[in-house]
Amino acid sequence: MRVLLTGSSGWLGRFLAPRLRAAGHFVTGLDVAPGTDTAVIGTVADRALVDQVFAEYEIDAVIHSGALHKPDIARYPTQAFIDVNVTGTLNLLEAAVAAKASRFIFTSTTSLMISERIRRAEGEAAVWIDETMAPLEPRNIYGVTKLAAEHLCRLYHQLHGLPCLILRTGRFFPEDDDTHAQPAGDNLKTNELLNRRLTVEDAARAHVMALDRAPQLGFDTFILSAPIPFQQDEAKALKEDPAAVIARHFPEAAALYASRGWVLPATIDRVYDPGHAERALGFRCTTGFAQALAALRDDRPSPLLHDPSYTSPKERPSVTRIN
């Protein structure tokens, strides 16, 4: 297929583009920043450019992973999120329908499922989050615009029959968390494999699988996160004493952590359940907490890529900012 990949210079794009080519697809990358796999420099908010790319490269499938993200809230005005995340998605959907594209994959986020109440960790038990969770009350402009874009995907599937799959990805960014300083780095990322993170390699693999399955599935929404080792009836214990729950599933975890000077989570207030993706999409992450522990035990590099110096390509000095 001739696939338009937006966000091709970003963290996911640099892993996804080579995997798409290996699967036999011709990839056209579109991004506001230059990159190895970016053929067109520009924004999805530019409808004329989007139409030009579809015509020039004869696009017949779209993976829309380009967006402004949560850390961008500090850098960009609200209108920029509307322009890029909402209008940009609409531009791509309209162009895809006009070009009679065969499928549309939208990279969304689990962040839009987190209300202010969930963020404050209210309640006695960890919140068990799957695709049936409602109502959705995103707590910031990032989540609001990503949810609006999801609704556009649903609408264009209903109106035009465009196969659309929505992938709500957990965390896979390489840099440090912008809100939590402790624990830092690999320790935090490894902890998050228990309930809210996946590797970027698994995220890329899921997109390729979704591209293949979209015509058969028509429309669906999937949470993507590492396999969770817990059962839902452990939700209260996860909030109160996660170390004890972790010890039941991973008896060696405490000692392996101690050998590195790491700490287990003091509480787990939410769990993203990726079960629907496994059942309906046939996708399961290959890397989870068990694999990270094995790397610690064998003194191998972590399967999680951590780069505290990582900067989004669009924020580098040579790139024109989105305003």
pLDDT of residue 323: 47
Q: In angstroms, rounded to a whole number, what is the distance separating the alpha carbons of residues 84 and 68?
A: 7
Q: In angstroms, rounded to a whole number, what is the distance separating the alpha carbons of residues 68 and 46?
A: 15
**Residue 313 amino acid letter:** P
pLDDT of residue 124: 93
pLDDT of residue 125: 96
Q: CA neighbours within 13 Å on the CB side: how many for 307?
A: 10
**Is residue 247 within 8 Å of 106, Cβ to Cβ?**
no
Low-confidence ranges of the chain (pLDDT < 70): 318-323
Contacts of residue 158, Cβ cutoff 8 Å, sequence gap at least 6: 219
**Residue 304 amino acid letter:** L
